[in-house]
Amino acid sequence: MVLLVALYFVLKPREGNTQDIYRYMRCPNCTQKLRFRKVQVGSVGACSRCKKPFLFPEGTLRETELDGAHKHEEFTEADD
Ligand SMILES: [Zn+2]
């Protein structure tokens, strides 16, 4: 099963650079600003600060759209 999944990712046609598009959100538990890859939308991740698991949501924001982005808070990469 793991091999099949690995093969899928190897053989999957590339869709531009969508894997490298970062999206931004706040942790629903501790409001830590988190950054994650667009390809992670819909999969389970965890906050790197409070370790609470959540689903990476659709319709997340670009960095400049996130509330409070002008405060120069540090983004933390979400765990996956
Ligand atoms: Zn958190």
Residue 3 — pLDDT band, cuts 50, 70, 90? confident
Question: From ligand 1's centre to the CA of 73, what distance in Å?
Answer: 14
SS3 assignment, position 72: coil
Q: CA angle at residue 6 from 4 to 7, to 5 degrees?
A: 65
Tell me what percent of the chain is helix, strand and coil, each rounded to the nearest 5: 30, 25, 50
Question: From ligand 1's centre to the CA of 76, what distance in Å?
Answer: 10
Question: From ligand 1's centre to the CA of 46, what distance in Å?
Answer: 8
pLDDT surpassing 60 at residue 69 = no
Q: Percentage of the chain surpassing pLDDT 90?
A: 38
Question: From ligand 1's centre to the CA of 19, what distance in Å?
Answer: 23
Question: From ligand 1's centre to the CA of 65, what distance in Å?
Answer: 19
Give tens-digit pLDDT for 22-52: 889 999 999 999 999 989 999 999 999 999 9
Domain boundaries, the chain: 41-80
